[in-house]
Amino acid sequence: MSTSTQNRDESASGLKQKQSVSTSAVQPGRSFRIGGEANYKGWVAKAAKQPMLLETVDLGPLGAEDVEVAVEHCGLCHSDLSVWNNEWGVSQYPAVLGHEVTGRVTAVGPNAKRLEVGQRVGVGWGSGSCMHCHQCMSGSHHLCPQVQATIVGHRGGFATHIRSHWAWAFPLPEKLNSAEAGPLLCGGVTVFAPLVMYAKPTQRVGIIGIGGLGHMAVKFAAAYGCHVTAFTSSESKFDEAKSFGANQVTSSRDSAAIKKLGGSFDLLISTVNVKLDWDAMIGTLAPNGRLHVVGAVLEPIPVSAFSLIMQQRRPSGSPIASPVTIETMLDFASRHNVAPQTEHFPMSNINEAFARLESGKARYRIVLDADFPSA
Ligand SMILES: [Zn+2]
Ligand SMILES: [Zn+2]
């Protein structure tokens, strides 16, 4: 997820991509297209919290470096809900949400690299970046000041087709199931990235919040070799957290139980967007331990200087990950059989699926299966 407000697109509608070329500039053959623009349909929200309606959408000409993907499945992430509700104040309407896409390439711009029509790919939170700034040239494209969020000023994946810069469309390893791989592309890599950045397989890791992100974090951390403690407010998730690979489970609402874990963790990854007993949580960090935040809690997290100073602890955060880290994650997930636990809805039940997510009852990630009527 990300809260970036920067878009490649400065047009009034905010929906046409920069770098687009006229269709006549697109080379025949490589830019082969299945279907015409009239066939593009998407689930459109006209304004914040408005039910999504199926409409024909105009994706415009294909960018020279872009690819087009026919959507087969698309995960439903909490960030879709936040953007739909304009909780971060960055939403642009009409909006087509959805940023955990799997599907097949249907068109390739003349300057796009490595992807072929028919190839199975995934697209996540990001679908483009400038490719020439310091961050892009360093391999940290996700920190590019112009990074294109897939669902802000760009059409997302609750649609027949999605467009992406070629570098942000990731070939799916053969072993990954298209129907289940979508949630890896945003939620999965968001928790995978801090593990590979900051944890060693010999270390103790705590995962705070066992929901869409947290349950994948437990699976990744266990597969990575870490000792894993799950923190959840829901006792009904204790057994499932263990089945995902947690060595132990603690209630995130039980300050006394949390305090008993004082000085334990080399890395805590917080996936929650609610207030917790942060003092107690930071107290569970070992010397040199890190509290890493990937859940977009809107209230500030209070941190006392002494709790950091005396044990050399540090707080940090990160949005999704670089394209290379996303590919590394897909390879790791494929080799270690890491997949989200999902509930599937036909995409035509999108409004029901959003209500299910909003209710907090989803176990653990919702995936919408494309079921557009053929034109
Ligand atoms: Zn997301
Ligand atoms: Zn850049």
For the stretch 34-65, pLDDT in tens is: 444 457 999 999 999 999 999 999 999 999 99
The ligand minimizing its distance to the Cα of 129 is 2
Alpha-carbon dihedral sign for residues 118, 322, 345, 215: positive
Q: What is the structure's pLDDT at 298?
A: 84
Query: What average pLDDT does the segment 344-351 reach?
Result: 98
Read off the pLDDT band of 30 (50, 70, 90).
Answer: very low
CA of 150, nearest ligand number: 1
Q: Which ligand is nearest to the CA of 83?
A: 1
pLDDT of residue 367 exceeding 50, the answer is yes
> How far from 353 is each of 63, 347, 370, CA to CA, in Å?
32, 8, 13
Residue 53's pLDDT is 97
Check pLDDT > 50 for residue 348.
yes
pLDDT band at 375 (very low <50, low <70, confident <90, very high): low
Give distance in angstroms: CA of 320 to centre of ligand 1: 8
Find the 186 Cα to ligand 1 centroid distance in Å. Answer: 5
Name the helix (H) or strand (E) containing 67: strand 66-76
Distance, CA of 295 to CA of 303 (rounded, Å): 17
How far apart, in Å, are the Cα atoms of 278 and each of 2, 244, 307? Answer: 22, 25, 11
CB atoms < 10 A from the CB of 279, how many?
14
Q: For residues 221 and 17, which has the higher predicted lDDT (pLDDT)?
A: 221
Residue 22 alpha carbon to ligand 1 centre in Å: 31
Q: Name the residue among 326, 195, 338, 191 with its Cα closest to residue 271.
A: 191
Using the mean position of ligand 2's atoms as its centre, give its distance from the Cα of residue 148 in Å. 10
80 Cα to the center of ligand 1, angstroms: 7
- Tell me which residue of 98, 101, 100 sits closest to 83, measured CA to CA: 98
Q: How far is the CA of 239 from the centre of ligand 1 (A)?
A: 26
How far, in Å, from the CA of 100 to the mean position of ligand 1?
7
Model pLDDT, residue 38 = 54
Q: Residue 271 pLDDT > 60, yes or no?
A: yes
pLDDT at res. 19: 38
pLDDT in tens, 66-91: 999 999 999 999 999 999 999 999 99
Number of the ligand closest to the Cα of 79: 1
**If you measure from the C-alpha of residue 115 to the centroid of ligand 1, how many angstroms do you get, rounded to a whole number?**
24
Give 303 Cα–ligand 2 centroid separation in angstroms.
Answer: 32
| pLDDT value at 211 more than 60 | yes
| Per-residue pLDDT at 296 | 85
Q: Which ligand is in closest contact with the Cα of 141?
A: 2
Which of the two residues, 323 and 299, has the higher pLDDT score? Answer: 323
Q: Is it the case that residue 293 has pLDDT exceeding 90?
A: yes
Q: Report the share of the chain in percent with pLDDT over 90.
A: 85
Q: Which ligand is nearest to the CA of 148?
A: 2
Which amino acid is present at 34?
A: I
Ligand with minimal distance to 152 CA: 1
pLDDT, mean over the chain: 90
Peptide bond into 364 cis (omega under 30): yes
Q: Which ligand is nearest to the CA of 149?
A: 1
For residue 208, pLDDT beyond 80: yes
**Is the per-residue pLDDT at 283 higher than 70?**
yes
Inter-residue contact 147 to 2 (CB < 8 Å):
yes
Q: pLDDT value at position 3?
A: 39
**374 pLDDT above the threshold of 80:** no
Ligand located closest to 190 CA? 1
**From start to end of 194-323, where are the E strands?**
204-208, 227-232, 248-251, 265-270, 285-293, 314-317
164 CA distance to ligand 1 centroid (A)? 16
Which range, 5-14, 38-47, 204-213, is most confident?
Answer: 204-213
CA 233 to CA 275: how far, in whole Å?
12
CA 167 – ligand 2 centroid, Å: 12
Q: Which of 156-160, 296-300, 352-356 has the lowest mean pLDDT?
A: 296-300
Distance 304 CA to ligand 1 centre (A): 30
Ligand approaching nearest to the C-alpha of 212: 1
Distances (CA, A) of 56 to 89, 137, 176: 26, 37, 31
Cα 326 to middle of ligand 1, angstroms: 13
How far, in Å, from the CA of 320 to the mean position of ligand 2?
A: 15
In percent, the amount of the chain with pLDDT more than 70 equals: 90
Check: pTM over 0.85? Answer yes or no: yes
Q: Which ligand is nearest to the CA of 322?
A: 2
